[in-house]
Amino acid sequence: MPYIQDLDDPDLDPNMLLFHHAQLGSICGMEDALKKGANINSCFNLVGSSALHFAASCTGRVGTDAVRWLLEKGIGWYKTDENGLTEAEVAKAHGNEESSMVLRECYVHSEYLVYYKALGGDDHPNNSNPFQKMRMDHEGDNKHFCRSSVAYTRPLGAPDDEVAMICATREQHGTGVMMEWERPIMHETARRLLDGMPRSGLRVLNVGFGIGMIDTYLQEVHPAEHVIIEAHPQCLAWMRSKGWYDRPGVRILEGRWQEFLMAIPGSNANPTNDIGDVPRPIDIGKFDIVYFDTFAEGYHGHFAFIRHVPRLLRGPGSRFSFFDCRPHWVCCRYLMTLLPWLPPHVLISPGFSSIEKLPHGTTMTWA
């Protein structure tokens, strides 16, 4: 990353002064820069490193203290610099493991623990954490999505057998709901979920059909019962046109998952947080495999569903997995936050494997 020279020019841009002192790990210097008018969220060359990136590049305790100070001041985080690196990745690249850990914990606390604490109320076991305000879950609007328009289309230049499910609304036209690049992720997930499972009497549940990638792979072993919960009417129509309603052992529940799962006894929070989602008198049963991958559900829906999982699992050998595009270390910490809510007999045993065949040379991790 660029190095900011120590300039004595009294007319030096305060933002440059902020970057300089952040790179040195000087809290006093950063305070002085802010007093002179520096914007704590400014970026070097408009699109590059923030002060947090510069502080993350500073090694030793002074660097870590500078990182903590900037976070306490409310600087924006989990941004990428001109090289595509997040602040935690910059810290790791410079050998500053402590700063990297502080930044990763910040990501997890804000994205998961804070929201989870608010979902659980005052009785949540982690109610002593210092983050008191719930970060609003702006991305969670699954109900609106289920009423919006989508399209099933073949991506430009793709083979005839490839299909993509995209948003067709004016606001989100072209936004991918499920795309072909996800296929290797779904294939590996299904493989690991099915590995070692008895083929006789297998019962599987998938929440969120999309274009049916994981359901197709699960069908390869001919489960005795395959339940699919899907709410979007256009998706349901596409499923019918592809013969999913006629497949042996497949049961399709039309609606959001909140409509089929009853409230959790003793919970201080409504697990759906959606007025109007009245559970139907349907016993969907227990399963050997449960998979969850909905769209625009947000953290609230994600957390609420996972709290139901122990009641959906058939026995000690049952397995649950979900789609999460965040780094595997975030998933690990996320799973740890679930432990206080789960019954003592439920064992979380995460596993990870890299999948290389994705666009632009990226790597995704299965959890």
The burial class, CB within 10 Å (0-12 / 13-18 / 19+), for 232 is: buried
Domains 14-108 and 180-366 share a fold: no
What is the pLDDT, as a whole number, of residue 307?
81
| 263 vs 313: CA distance, rounded Å | 17
| 175 vs 165: CA distance, rounded Å | 9
Q: Which distant-in-sequence residues (6+ apart) come within 8 Å of 332 by Cβ?
A: 350, 367
249, 224 in Cβ contact below 8 A? Answer: yes
Place of tokens 């990763």: 104
What is the pLDDT, as a whole number, of residue 127?
41
Helix (H, G, I), strand (E, B) or coil at 55: helix
pTM of whole model > 0.85?
no
| 171 vs 296: CA distance, rounded Å | 14
Partners of residue 364 on adjacent β-strands = 355
Helix (H) or strand (E) run with residue 303 in it: helix 298-306
Under CATH, domain 180-366 is a member of which superfamily?
Vaccinia Virus protein VP39 (3.40.50.150)
What is the pLDDT, as a whole number, of residue 267?
47
What is the pLDDT, as a whole number, of residue 137?
42
What is the pLDDT, as a whole number, of residue 275?
45
What is the pLDDT, as a whole number, of residue 218?
97
What are the residue boundaries of the structural domains of the chain, listed by start? 14-108, 180-366
* Other Cβ atoms within 10 Å of 262 Cβ, number: 12
Give 10-residue mean pLDDT values along the chain (367 residues): 60 88 95 94 82 95 96 87 88 93 80 52 42 37 85 76 80 75 90 94 97 96 97 96 97 94 55 54 89 83 83 91 73 67 67 55 37
* Other Cβ atoms within 10 Å of 357 Cβ, number: 13
DSSP string for residues in 180-231: GGGHHHHHHHHHHHHTT--STT-EEEEE--TT-HHHHHHHTT--SEEEEEE-
| 187 vs 191: CA distance, rounded Å | 6
Q: Tell me how far apart the 2 most distant CA atoms of the chain are, in Å.
A: 78
| 151 vs 231: CA distance, rounded Å | 15
DSSP string for residues in 317-338: T-EEEE---S-HHHHHHHHHHH
The CATH code of domain 14-108 reads: 1.25.40.20
| 35 vs 184: CA distance, rounded Å | 51
**Per-residue buried b or exposed e for 53-90, using 16+ beta carbons within 10 Å of the residue's own CB:** bbbbbbbeeebbbbbbbbbeeebebebbbeeebbbbbb
